[in-house]
Structure formats: structure tokens, C-alpha cells
Structure 1
């Protein structure tokens, strides 16, 4: 998995993706979803690092079955909120307040 963390005016933004989806595009109902290197490329990460990054996130974008499954397993995302986008999974996390 790959993790990219950055600070924004609204808080920490975390992007997580599976290694094999970086640079790929997925299409669903005429909408194209791109896993761009500009947004998602960061540092290789094991499960522990991904979980720690998601725990600090104010907003997170998560792509790929391994990454999304890990986010669900640790309670960051509910499975009912996971989207299937043209053969991969995507989820977002937003903490309000």
C-alpha cells in the first residue's frame, strides 16, 4: 500500500491506495476515476502505518481492495459506504468538528 499525508487548512489529508492501482483509471456509468500519482503517490506503507495515518486524518481518500478492506476492518469506514468504481473499491473518510 501507499500513503500520502499532507497538511491543509482544514486538517490532515490522507490518501491511501493499493500499489497496483496507482496510475490507473476506472470508469463507472460514464464517470472516470483516476488514481493519479500527483494525489496518491507517497511512501510504501504496511498495515500498521496505514492504520496510524487514517487515525490522524481529518479527510481520507482510500482506493483498492486491500486498503479499503483495512479501513473497514479498523472501523474508519462502514462497508455500506464503500463504492465499487469500475472494478476497484473506493471510500472516503471525513471527520467533522
Structure 2
């Protein structure tokens, strides 16, 4: 999985994706999900274990998670409710917002 953390005016933004999702576009009806290098990759992105992903998600104020493995890690850690996960074509997507 690729993990990227960055500071924004609203707090820490974390993006996580399965490595094989990077650069892909998923379409399901009117919904399009682009997993861009600009948002999920780049020099700040690191290959991460499940434990590192969970730690990063705990530091996030906002997170975007794409891919079956990445979303499953967030669900299994109790950070994302399975009922809120979107299935988009061949992948999964979840968002996390800590208030």
C-alpha cells in the first residue's frame, strides 16, 4: 500500500491506496474515481505495512482510502464502518473524517 501524509490548513490529510490502483481510473455509472499520482503518489508517498497505514489514519483529520487491501485494513482496525464503503467498479473507496 502507498501512504501519503501532508499538512493542510484544515489539518493532516492522509491518502492511502493499494499500489496497483495508482494511475487507474474506475467508473461505475455516473461515478468516476481517479487514483492519481499527484494525490496518492509522489515523493511523499511511502510503501507502508498495515500497521503503518493504521497509524497514519489515526494521525489524519481527513483521509481518502482506495483499494480492497487498504479499505479492508481501515475497516478491520475499526476506523471505517463497512456500511460506508463504496464499491466502484473493481475497487473500493472510503473516506475518513475526524471531528
Structure 2 residue 37 is matched with structure 1 residue 54: no
What are the residue-to-residue correspondences of 1:1-16 with 2, within 5 Å? 1-16=1-16
**Equivalent in 36, 42, 46 of residue 43 of structure 1:** 46
2:94 alignment partner in structure 1: 91
2:17 alignment partner in structure 1: 17
Which ranges of 4 or more aligned residues in structure 1 deviate by more than 6 Å? Answer: none
* Pairwise CA distance, 1:18: 0.3
RMSD over aligned Cα atoms: 0.7
- Aligned equivalents of 2:7, 2:78: Cα separation in 1: 23
* Pairwise CA distance, 1:86: 1.2
* Pairwise CA distance, 1:31: 2.5
Q: How many residues align?
A: 96
- Aligned equivalents of 2:18, 2:97: Cα separation in 1: 20
Structure 2: runs of 5 or more not aligned: none
Provide the secondary structure at the position in 1 that maps to 2:96. strand
Structure 1: runs of 5 or more not aligned: none
- Aligned equivalents of 1:32, 1:74: Cα separation in 2: 27
